[in-house]
Amino acid sequence: MAANFAVNNIRDFEFIIQEWLPTEGVFNYPQFADYYSRDDVKSVLGPILKMCKEVIEPTNDDGENSPIIFADGKVTCPKSFGPLFHQLQSEGWGTSNIDNSPDAMVLPEMLYAAVWEMICAANPAFMPYILLTSGAADLIQSFGDDQLKATFLPNMMDGTWSGTMCLTEPSAGSDVGDILSKAYPTDDPRIFKIKGNKIFITGGDNDFTENIIHLYLARIEGSRPGTAGISLFVVPKYWVNEDGSLSDNDFQTTGAEHKMGLHGSVTAALAAGENDGCRGWLLGKDPRENDGKGEGMAQMFQMMNLARMETGHMALSCIINAFANARDNAKERIQGRLITDPKSGRVAIINHEDIKRTLMMGKAHIEAMRAMMYRVYLAFDQRHRDPDAAVRQAASDLIEMTTPLCKAYPSDEAWWLIGEAIQTYGGYGYCSEYPVAQLACDCKIYSIWEGTNFIQSMDLVGRKMSMKGGSVFAGWVQEMADFCEANKDNDNFAIDFANLDKALKAYKEMVDALQGYFKSNISLVPLYSRRVLTASAQLYCGRLILDQALLADKKANELGPEHYDYNFYMGKVATAKYYLRNVVPNVWAVAEIVTAADTSAIDVPVDVFEY
């Protein structure tokens, strides 16, 4: 048995988009009104679910059985990846909302997110090719002139070419400001010679597209030091001549990493301008004409912020598929007898208490994280298209505030949650013939991609909490407090709202302490920042999943136990109660740790870590 796409329905997507989130306004935007309505979720996503099972899942096996090979300067990819890439791009599933023309038929961000979630669950190693091409094309759409758009976007959108973003270098990982790649002017003010080396470039090469378009960070001579002087360039693997023909651009792949997972995905080392012949188009202003300021980092962050969302979402996709597989295995595997009736016959292990607890733990995390992700995807739609400036601004503030949570929380939890899914298999889970082993290996990179989760946590406590003088963060916390106050007398969820209230009060104390550490002992801020981020995400997820439970409880009571949807709604209620009673208490546990200000980890000399 190889990797298996075990997701079997889209009911939660329907609940989120059609019942829970206030999506009427999005579907009424001019871009969507003539094409989609809230009732079209099944008609859009149903065929995608079928495609994932029948078309995409087999390519996952291909990626594992025929992983990428680098030899003689060339990469060989799994044979099935090229046809799949061209199919998805040509059908429009991989291009996101790049086409901004009024008559373009594009999907709301929420629906694209659901499509990509299922595609990633069916083949995690393939997904970066789609996402990175979309992200690179989006940057050209946003910052390129008409000529660059005409040159690159059609071929990227239909799958003829692919795209990447090139940041990391051997001497500069997360500290991007220290990159050594240089750009030198030519006779054409738009075109620069590029020279430098990049590493860990996901999708940096392949053998199934005619060209690869790299969004490449480099520094023009005379620019400011650090990130302020970095510029962004469109650097194709093969130069695109004025007549559309391709020629060598002195851009080579020098290696491909051997990874613990995502074996069908290329992670390349690249060299530009080894023979002084690499060229790229500058996006944005020339820093020499802009007081030495480059626009590269600001431009790249447009791609990176969405990429951070997508990275967290890919982690969630792996968690979902792991627990779907664990569920199916637990239904089928017969072992042991009920502790409440030991004289009865053997039963499927899904009936045992610890297995049910494990599956509920997975379900609770999945639905809580999914609630957070899709609430923020709704904000992406609002920020991009709402006619009301106040709505757009509120949506933008929410996106900025929650991006670190959406990236880091699912990708941090994926590793141990998928480990728990493995545990349900017993010894079989440790065998590579079963799908959860591959998912464990695949998921680990997500906590590292797009800025490690420590970087996300410092972004949260160092930037997002102080954004606009702290007003955005204060409003975010106050909204949760208002929700709790408005519903605290609900008898069906008395324990759960009491836990949310307790978590909120502890969270405020923790944040107050953290703010004090910036002045009294700043070393405590990075010491605790990752735990603060986790607690922040758990608090917000608790608020959202409890809101879902209120709606689900109402629907279940209206329908009654005989209705086919009753178990779905009651499952939402049970999931929320589990999360509020078993996960959210970590918020006040973390608060106690942070306010105690234990410094034992940083007080010791580094020599104590010798063994």
As annotated, the active-site residues are: 450
* Angle at the Cα of 491 from the Cα atoms of 487 and 495, rounded to 5 degrees: 80
Whether 195 and 278 have beta carbons less than 8 Å apart is answered as: yes
Gyration radius (Cα) of the chain, Å: 25
The residue among 587, 583, 537 whose CA lies nearest residue 357 is 583
The residue among 256, 264, 316, 539 whose CA lies nearest residue 446 is 316
The residue among 163, 291, 288 whose CA lies nearest residue 235 is 163
Alpha-carbon distance 259 to 165, whole Å? 19
Q: What angle do the packed helices 585-596 and 524-559 form, to 10 degrees? A: 160
The 3 state secondary structure assigned to 75-136 is EECCCCHHHHHHHHHHCCCCCCCCCCCCCCCCCCHHHHHHHHHHHHHHCCCCHHHHHHHHHH
Say which DSSP state 224 is in: P
Q: Which two tokens stand for residue 381?
A: 């739609």
For 42-181, strand residue ranges (E) read 69-71, 74-76, 161-166
Q: Which residue has the tokens 């393939």?
A: 126
What is the CA 211 to chain-centroid distance, rounded? 26
* Angle at the Cα of 18 from the Cα atoms of 15 and 20, rounded to 5 degrees: 60
216, 307, 311, 354 from 166: Cα distances, Å: 5, 13, 16, 45
Tell me the residue type at 74. K
